[in-house]
Amino acid sequence: SHLFYEHIRAWKPNNSEEEAMKQASDETLAKINDITCEWISDKEIKKIAKRFQSYLDIGILKSSQLFNKSETEINSNVELKMAQFVYEQLDTFTLKNEKVKEKEQAIYVVLYEYYKKNIIGNEEKEAIGEIKPGINLLGYCTHETCLSAKEKFYVWVNIGFGDISLTSDNTLYHCPECLQLSVTSIARVKFFNSEYSIFINNDPVYINKKDYEGTYPIKPGLTYSLKAERIRQRATSIGDLIIRSEAAMNSEEVLNLVAELQKYMITVAKPPKVKDMKRLLEKIDFDYGGDYNRVFDVGRFTILCDNCVKLQTALNVIKKANKFNLIVSEDKDSFNNHSTTHYRFHNTKLYVPKYDVYVEMQATLKHYTTLEGHTLFSNPKLSHLFYEHIRAWKPNNSEEEAMKQASDETLAKINDITCEWISDKEIKKIAKRFQSYLDIEINSNVELKMAQFVYKQLDTFILKNEKVKEKEQAIYVVLYEYYKKNIIGNEEKE
């Protein structure tokens, strides 16, 4: 508190911004002394202390205004000097005396909240670059012409999966803005959607976790070994994977999470059994090159929500799965971002430590789902069966390549309608072109597996539910136009 006072004692603000900063500093000093001298009650001190997190958990971000500043420049500017002082105090803060532990934690909270609000602000949120799976480093670009350097923005550099060794100021990385090898002063590492570990060479700290997201400070002068791997199952065989998955789905931990979701009137659909063995083997073979430890939906729950508010509630509950001794290990948003097939869902992988296995929770809206027993659609299997027919297709020539591409595009169009990636107006426009198969007289002479499947879907297409009539008509139009263009072509004319 005395050093804090020394830094602000002679401060004479030159403008309104400095005036506001000076006032916030005075108030913070008063709060620190309120705790130290017990002007506030023990109850209030305990309340503040509960907000305490160590620097290992939050990471103290150095203010970008301090970058490339000499000691002389910092010491001649009160704001810079204050920023440097508070950063150093937070970064070296230690708790030694148990007798005043809560007081010291409360003081740390007050100082950190002052620093976050008045000095660094939203610097991390404003950082340039994208957080991607694997290792992400937060640093500062030193390239003179780079926008991030000019504006003093932090940048995120994605390293991806692998292992690296780094020292904050001795390694350069490519800037996502200017693409130069110019990012240094690494202040933080964020692991995303990966199993990861950290080893600090000069410190007996080793962290090994499976959380989908973890952020840690990188302190100057220390050497860090960072490792991130794609999450994998640890089964010894497909049978072992199925046994573990079934046990996890019926475990107390997972069932407690399901019960918590159901408290909010959220539907959780659990399949009567794990994925069909034939389909499972096909998926492992075609999608994962025979590696069964890359499959995560052997055990899957489908979460169905009435609206987007309920969906967000469900995601908030899932992200607190640690309450139930579960770990959120991967979080993938294909609800707000297009998946490959355009099916709309939010996918979360949960690690169940008791059985050393991952299970999936896939959340979407009720009126998007094609899950039997829960769907509004009269032909719920269409899009999934269409996907099954083209998933493992490896074209052998240019004609098949064109057909495969047209098939992929048609599946995306079907899901655009089902999951409302396109507007009601656009769906109505497509649906107006609808004619029943009785009017079209579909030709069944083509002897290809895909042709036979699409023909059968068109020939048996039914409309039962008025609530999704236009959607289903639009899907039929997309499927028929694909069939007419890519399968039967000009057969009728010929």
**Domains defined along the chain, listed by start:** 2-120 (no CATH), 134-229 (no CATH), 238-365 (3.30.460.10), 382-488 (no CATH)
The answer to whether 430 and 414 have CB atoms below 8 angstroms apart is no
What's the pLDDT score for residue 123?
A: 62
Cα–Cα dist 126/83, whole Å: 19
Q: Which residues contact 218 (CB under 8 A, 6 or more apart)?
A: 137, 166, 168, 186, 187, 188, 189, 224
The answer to whether 67 and 140 have CB atoms below 8 angstroms apart is yes
Length of the chain: 494
CA 214 to chain centre: 12
The answer to whether 201 and 223 have CB atoms below 8 angstroms apart is yes
What's the pLDDT score for residue 446?
A: 36
Counting as low any pLDDT under 50, the low residues of the chain are 444-447, 493-494
This prediction's pTM: 0.75
Which of 197, 440, 241 has the alpha carbon at shortest distance from 356? 241
What's the pLDDT score for residue 86?
A: 84
Which strand ranges, in their side-by-side order, compose the sheet holding 205-209? 162-167, 223-229, 195-200, 205-209
The answer to whether 294 and 360 have CB atoms below 8 angstroms apart is no
What phi and psi values does residue 279 have, to the nearest 5 degrees? -65, -35
What's the pLDDT score for residue 275?
A: 67
For tokens 């999934």, name the residue.
384
